[in-house]
Structure 1
Amino acid sequence: MTTARVLLSAMLLTAALAGAAMWYLQVYAFYEPVEPPETVHLATASGRLLEVAPVDFEGIDAPSSPIRYRACLRLPPEASARDLVPFADPRPPVAPPWFDCFDAAAIGEALERREARAVLGQKDIVWGIDRVLVLFPDGRAYAWNQINACGAVVFDGEPVPDGCPPLPERD
Structure 2
Amino acid sequence: MNGKIVGSFILITALIAGVAIYWLQVYAYYDEIAADRAEMTMVNIATGQPEPVLIEGFEGIDGTSSPIRYRACFTLPLRTGTLTETYEPYPDPTPLTAPGWFDCFDAVAIGTALESGEAMAFLSQHDIHDGVDRVVAVFPDGRAFAWHQLNEKYQD
TM-score normalized with structure 1 length = 0.84
Q: Which one of 121, 124, 131 corresponds to residue 121 of structure 1?
A: 124
1:1-171 alignment, distance < 5 Å: 2-36=1-35, 37=37, 39-46=39-46, 47-78=48-79, 80-152=83-155
CA contact (8 A) 1:80 1:137 kept: no
With a CA cutoff of 8 Å and minimum separation of 6, indicate the structure with the bigger relative contact order: 2
Structure-2 separation of matches of 1:38 and 1:111: 24
CA contact (8 A) 1:67 1:129 kept: yes
C-alpha deviations, 1:42-92, integer Å up to 9, x for none?
012221323112100000001111100000000112463542211111111
TM-score normalized with structure 2 length = 0.91
Larger fraction in helix: 2
Q: CA deviation at 1:122?
A: 0.4
Q: Aligned-residue CA RMSD in angstroms?
A: 1.5
SS in 1 for 2:69: strand
- The sequence identity of aligned pairs, in percent, is 47
Q: Which amino acid aligns with 1:41?
A: T
Alignment: residue pair count = 152
Q: What stretches of structure 1 of length at least 5 have no aligned partner?
A: 154-171
Structure-2 separation of matches of 1:81 and 1:137: 12
More displaced stretch, 48-57 vs 131-140:
48-57
Q: What stretches of structure 2 of length at least 5 have no aligned partner?
A: none
More displaced stretch, 76-85 vs 65-74:
76-85
Structure-2 separation of matches of 1:60 and 1:39: 13
